[in-house]
Structure 1
Amino acid sequence: MNRLSKVMRQIERLPSGLQPTVRSFILGKIIRFAGTASCRVETLRPETCVIRLKNRRKVQNHIGSVHAAAMALLAESATGFMTGMTVPDDRILVIRSMELTYLKRASGDMTAVASFSEEQLEYVRNTPKGDITVPVVITDETGTETVKAEMIWAWTPKKK
């Protein structure tokens, strides 16, 4: 269990209604861009992450929907937070690649869901240096998948 997963476990002791707010505040301080965009981290566990982003003026494009860059932030945050809970503290995690395909015009608020299988969790935990492809599903408030995204996260041992 790494430092991030220990903090997230402590948050789970709070009343369930408070957990997303506290989780989002803490992660927004660590990753400031996610905090600036007001990403709401609904669920964060080693095997899954769910993040919501309200369609507010500060994240909109010229046609009033969530900006493509904000959707990329949502995908990167969901996959990165989840992977960050899994990588041991003696390693450094970085994003290597982002691939996003915008399928349909988004309507309203957005939700990103990333997940790992048990095999993927074991691979990340037990591989000193490596990378992993993490798919993420992004839907709008109608439940329509608007973005197909895949992130590649890499890690290496920290220098001593």
Structure 2
Amino acid sequence: MSASNPLKKFVEKVNQYPAPISAFLMTKVFRHKVKLAGTTSIDVVATDGQQVEYRMKNRKKVQNHIGSVHAAAMALLAESATGFIVGINLPGDKLPLIKCMNLNYVKRATGDMKAVAELTDEQIKLLCEQEKGEINVQVKVTDETGIEPVVCEMIWAWVPKRS
């Protein structure tokens, strides 16, 4: 029997509210727990427990020298989305850890950024059943024109929490 996950319970509860309220509440909690995400004003748009959508507006504080979202901010967006979807699907007695971030910047970004991360049914089953392991979490980062300026590979591991 796997341990209860308070983050998953929270997401399930707030998803009962209308979408704007749900997104607002998840964003507030996420920014509170992940301080850098609060600094960069990452928004949680929505999640169904298997997929999550995050957004980052192209504000001055996340821009590079040419006025687009900085490469490090795009990496944070992808890592945040994948970490959230892993975090809500792990049993409460497991700890998620980013193991590898491979990012290939292939085009110049324009405007606001969006990241959509998702897990397969098989991956969720692994997270729930294996004491420790790792998975490659799919994430697509796009700009406001719909292009994918960065191609990401995010490998997440999990281990038992220490008592």
TM-score band, normalised by shorter chain: over 0.9
Name the stretch that deviates more: 138-147 or 17-26. 17-26
Say whether 1:136 aligns with 2:144: no
Say whether 1:96 aligns with 2:136: no
Contact 2:95 2:159 in 1 (8 A): yes
CA distance in 2 between partners of 1:53 and 1:11 (Å): 21
In the TM superposition, residue 15 of structure 1 has moved relative to its aligned partner by 2.3
Contact 2:19 2:46 in 1 (8 A): no
Instruction: Give 1:54's aligned amino acid.
Output: K
Unaligned segments of structure 2, at least 5 residues: none
Contact 1:46 1:83 in 2 (8 A): no
Say whether 1:83 aligns with 2:86: yes
Deviations 1:44-79 (A, max 9, x none): 233111101000001000000000000000000000
Say whether 1:8 aligns with 2:11: yes
Contact 1:55 1:66 in 2 (8 A): yes
Aligned with 1:131: secondary structure? strand
User: What is the match of residue 105 of structure 1?
Assistant: 108
1:50 corresponds to which of 43, 50, 53: 53
CA distance in 2 between partners of 1:142 and 1:31 (Å): 28
**How high is the sequence identity, in percent, across the aligned residues?**
47
CA distance in 1 between partners of 2:16 and 2:119 (Å): 24
User: What is the match of residue 120 of structure 1?
Assistant: 123
CA distance in 2 between partners of 1:158 and 1:17 (Å): 33
The alignment yields a C-alpha RMSD, in angstroms, of 1.0
User: What is the match of residue 65 of structure 2?
Assistant: 62
CA distance in 2 between partners of 1:146 and 1:92 (Å): 30
Name the stretch that deviates more: 127-136 or 13-22. 13-22
TM-score by length of 2: 0.94
TM-score by length of 1: 0.96
In the TM superposition, residue 14 of structure 1 has moved relative to its aligned partner by 2.0
Aligned with 1:78: secondary structure? helix
Contact 2:105 2:149 in 1 (8 A): yes
In the TM superposition, residue 38 of structure 1 has moved relative to its aligned partner by 0.6
CA distance in 1 between partners of 2:18 and 2:116 (Å): 23
CA distance in 2 between partners of 1:153 and 1:24 (Å): 22
Corresponding residue pairs, total: 160
Give every structure 1 segment of 4 or more consecutive aligned residues whose post-TM-superposition deviation is greater than 3 Å: none
In the TM superposition, residue 135 of structure 1 has moved relative to its aligned partner by 2.2
CA distance in 1 between partners of 2:19 and 2:63 (Å): 30
Instruction: Give 1:5's aligned amino acid.
Output: K
